[in-house]
Structure 1
Amino acid sequence: MLIGYARVSTDDQNLDLQQDALQKAGCDKIYEDKISGAKADRPGLITALEVIRADDTLVIWRLDRLGRSLKDLIHLMEVLNQKEAGLLSLQESINTASSAGKLVFHIFGSLAEFERNLIRERTQAGMAAARARGRQGGRPKALDPEKRKLAIRLYQEQKYTVQEICRMMQISKPTLYKYLDEQAGVIG
């Protein structure tokens, strides 16, 4: 039996392309997830792995839909091997029913992980270069320094509740507490 698995990273992405390819490949059942591949808890994949039996094949559109790291892919391959099931990746034309297919699976998995690591390194290098030029990454502060001091002073005077201060300053409670913690770090 051919069992399909499709995954997209976010709810606003569409599974149609993968579903069409899996149906065209002859999958009897298709399980799907709309969740990041980095998440370990993927209900659709868990169900597909529970359903799969000896001589079945898990069919995926691409390797990156199955796992985010070589370690993850190898672990999933071991699970399939224990169940005496195979893996078929449509885009990479990998079929682990053969020794050559298993070799190609490991090579493609390694290349995919290498590419993700290069992207991560380039991103970190770009952020370091931006910091060297005085730019800071991350989300801008909700309040400028003067308004932050005012919020802290209002809190310390205890004339207003936290909720009232947050409403006046148009910030959330966690933001106010973060400013208080930053102030305490400066003083202490």
Structure 2
Amino acid sequence: MRVYGYTRLSKADRPRKGESPEDVEKRQRASLVAQEEAIRRACERNGDELVQMFVDDGRTGANTRREGFQAALRAVKRGEMLMIAKFDRLSREVVTWYDLMQRADRRGWYIAVLDQRIDTSTASGWLHAMILAVFAEFERRLIGERTRDALQIIGRTKQLGKPSEIEDDTAATILDLHGEGLSARAIAAALTADGVPSQRGGAWHHSVIAAFLRRVDAA
């Protein structure tokens, strides 16, 4: 089968505290290379032909208007396959997944996701993909609810972390990154690297992030 591969950077691949631009580029390149190698190995194992790779560079999983993703959709044809190394590198939204699978069904091509062993060329693989998409959407909605609740509490009591350190937009970013699996230390480094101001004007400290997350969990 002819296969088109798709790889993407995520928020977890963003710059970290103390990293040089060269180190950031090296780590991000390693992430993309690892995804591509997984796709190449799968094609070799299955006797498939890898026709072309498409890449996006860190745009959010909620955005399906990514240039590389759209190019991949234009390229794949009937009887061919779009292959992704990791489930969340395509989209975490069930509607997006369903629309994509409907599009693939209408046009006669397939989707494979290696880390979840999804292959929509079979009925069981199609069902597996839909179940995972539903759970991914459920997790995304939970994160959204926690963000809204946290912002409401900030507005009422100003007791989440130190109110002058945790602004509303920053609180939403922290919860978003936490939902991506980043630790308090990694979130602090990401905020500092992105130039998000802290109360003292210096680097963010992981203890502030950890205290904020504990209070959100207890809310």
Where do 1:16-27 residues align within 5 Å? 16-26=33-43, 27=50
Maintained 8 Å contact 1:37/1:65:
yes
1:4 aligns with 2:28: no
Where do 1:107-122 residues align within 5 Å? 107-122=131-146
Maintained 8 Å contact 2:5/2:52:
yes
Maintained 8 Å contact 1:57/1:85:
yes
Summarize the Cα distance change of 1:139–1:77 in structure 2 as closer, same or farther, 3 Å threshold: closer
Maintained 8 Å contact 2:154/2:168:
no
Q: Which of 123, 130, 139 matches 2:147?
A: 123
2:99 is matched with 75
Maintained 8 Å contact 1:6/1:60:
yes
After TM superposition, the score normalised by the length of structure 2 is 0.58
Among all aligned residue pairs of Structure 1 and Structure 2, give the percentage whose two residues are the same amino acid.
29
Distance 2:131 2:33 in 1: 28
Where do 1:1-188 residues align within 5 Å? 1-9=2-10, 12=14, 13=28, 14-26=31-43, 27-34=50-57, 35-134=59-158, 135=163, 137-138=167-168
- What's the secondary structure of 1:80's corresponding residue? helix
After TM superposition, the score normalised by the length of structure 1 is 0.67
Letter in 2 for 1:116: R
Distance 1:120 1:72 in 2: 17
Task: Let me know the Cα RMSD of the aligned residues.
Answer: 2.1
Letter in 2 for 1:22: I
Distance 2:41 2:112 in 1: 13
Q: CA deviation at 1:30?
A: 1.2
Maintained 8 Å contact 2:151/2:168:
no
Maintained 8 Å contact 1:22/1:30:
no
Maintained 8 Å contact 1:52/1:83:
no
| Greater Cα shift, 106-115 or 70-79 | 70-79
Q: Structure 1 stretches of 5 or more lacking a match?
A: 141-188
